[in-house]
């Protein structure tokens, strides 16, 4: 991981959770089977849910992994299951390969995977929230929510398919919103929280050099936005759409709830300063 500076609000490293990162070697290629995609700028063809991608090999590896972008599968390069793939493969289904089991097992595995993926994404956010000292007032509630989410992710297949994961997300979101308010209020240089741009339409916006310290950009549409040199220190980026956003020389130090898939979908360079929870995308170095 590149040398990255800790957060502006005194935030320590996000706790090391390798179980919340995709481990393809211990997964049965579930994202290549369970999820649907449509022919578009992100995918070269249509594929319904439950049908294996034609590029998936018998060993559950992608046959064009090194050439996904060139072959028109950019969407695959910006996807992360947050460790749900290996959880469903090795824990929920105890290592039973969908290729060798019954059709019912294969169908149920495809249904369970998206549910566990949502739960693991929540675990990522909750784990990060517990690493924010400014949110100490809600740490106890966050810890309880984390423990509950861990238990839900371990439910048997038949219970996972019946789980109202949307309702659980709403409960967790209340805590994450409060976490955001506390963390953004502690960003140096801000008197109170930064700008509230939740869900804002900022597609193609010219935000070069913008002061967005401590801003809430939750669910904001920043597709192809020019954020060159922007100051995003301590900003809340949960759910922000950063596809093709230009983060060249931007400062995201201490920005929180930013996931690797969001960053992988953006553009940037060596001058982009990142929070400790993510890794500089390899394709940034190839921009020239």
pLDDT at 190 > cutoff 90: no
Q: How confident is residue 276, by pLDDT bands cut at 50, 70 and 90?
A: confident
Average pLDDT over residues 113-139: 96
- Secondary structure class of 109 (helix, strand, coil): helix
For the ranges 8-22, 34-48, 185-199, 229-243, the one whose mean pLDDT is highest: 229-243
Residue 7, pLDDT score:
34
More confident residue, 3 or 81: 81
Residue 27, pLDDT score:
95
86-107 pLDDT, tens digit each: 999 999 999 999 988 778 888 9
More confident residue, 15 or 184: 184
10-58 pLDDT, tens digit each: 334 445 688 999 999 999 999 999 999 999 988 999 999 999 999 999 9
What percentage of the chain carries pLDDT values higher than 70? Answer: 92
pLDDT at 70 > cutoff 50: yes
pLDDT at 5 > cutoff 60: no
Residue 188, pLDDT score:
84
pLDDT at 185 > cutoff 60: yes
- Secondary structure class of 126 (helix, strand, coil): helix
Average pLDDT over residues 217-235: 97
pLDDT at 8 > cutoff 60: no
C-beta atoms surrounding 104 within 10 Å: 8
Question: Mean pLDDT score of the chain, rounded to an integer?
Answer: 90
Listed as own residue / partner, the contacts of 159-162 with beta carbons closer than 8 Å and 24 or more positions apart are: 160/92, 160/112, 160/115, 160/116, 161/108, 161/111, 161/112, 161/115
More confident residue, 142 or 279: 142
125-155: string of b/e by CB count within 10 Å (b at 16+)?
Answer: bbbbbbbbebbeebeeebeebbebbeebbeb
Please give the Cα distance from 271 to 186 (Å, whole number). Answer: 25
Listed as own residue / partner, the contacts of 43-47 with beta carbons closer than 8 Å and 24 or more positions apart are: 43/72, 43/73, 43/75, 43/76, 44/71, 44/72, 44/73
Q: DSSP alpha helices (H): ranges in 130-191?
A: 139-153, 157-160, 165-185
Average pLDDT over residues 71-76: 91
- Secondary structure class of 211 (helix, strand, coil): strand
Answer whether 259's CB lies under 8 Å from 124's CB: yes
Q: How confident is residue 1, by pLDDT bands cut at 50, 70 and 90?
A: very low
pLDDT at 156 > cutoff 50: yes
């Amino acid at each position: 991981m590149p040398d990255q500076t800790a957060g502006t609000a005194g935030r320590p490293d996000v706790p090391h959770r390798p179980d919340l990162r995709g481990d393809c070697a211990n997964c049965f290629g579930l994202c290549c089977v369970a999820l649907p995609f449509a022919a578009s700028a992100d995918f070269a063809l249509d594929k319904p849910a439950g049908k294996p991608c034609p590029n998936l090999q018998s060993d559950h590896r992608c046959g064009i992994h090194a050439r996904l972008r060139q072959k028109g599968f950019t969407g695959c390069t910006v996807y992360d299951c947050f460790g749900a793939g290996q959880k469903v493969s090795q824990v929920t289904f105890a290592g039973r390969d969908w290729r060798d089991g019954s059709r019912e097992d294969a169908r149920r595995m495809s249904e369970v995977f998206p549910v566990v993926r949502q739960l693991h994404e929540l675990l990522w956010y909750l784990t990060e929230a517990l690493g924010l000292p400014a949110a100490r007032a809600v740490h106890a509630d966050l810890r309880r929510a984390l423990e509950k989410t861990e238990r839900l992710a371990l439910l048997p297949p038949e219970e996972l398919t019946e789980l109202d994961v949307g309702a659980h997300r709403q409960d967790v979101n209340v805590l994450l919103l409060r976490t955001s308010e506390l963390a953004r209020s502690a960003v140096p240089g801000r008197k109170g929280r930064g700008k509230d741009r939740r869900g804002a339409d900022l597609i193609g916006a010219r935000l070069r050099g913008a002061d967005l310290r401590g801003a809430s950009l939750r669910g904001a549409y920043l597709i192809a936005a020019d954020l060159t040199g922007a100051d995003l220190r301590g900003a809340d980026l949960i759910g922000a759409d950063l596809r093709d956003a230009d983060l060249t020389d931007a400062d995201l130090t201490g920005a929180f709830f930013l996931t690797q898939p969001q960053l992988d979908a953006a553009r940037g360079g060596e001058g982009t300063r990142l929070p400790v929870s993510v890794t500089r995308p390899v394709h940034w170095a190839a921009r020239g």
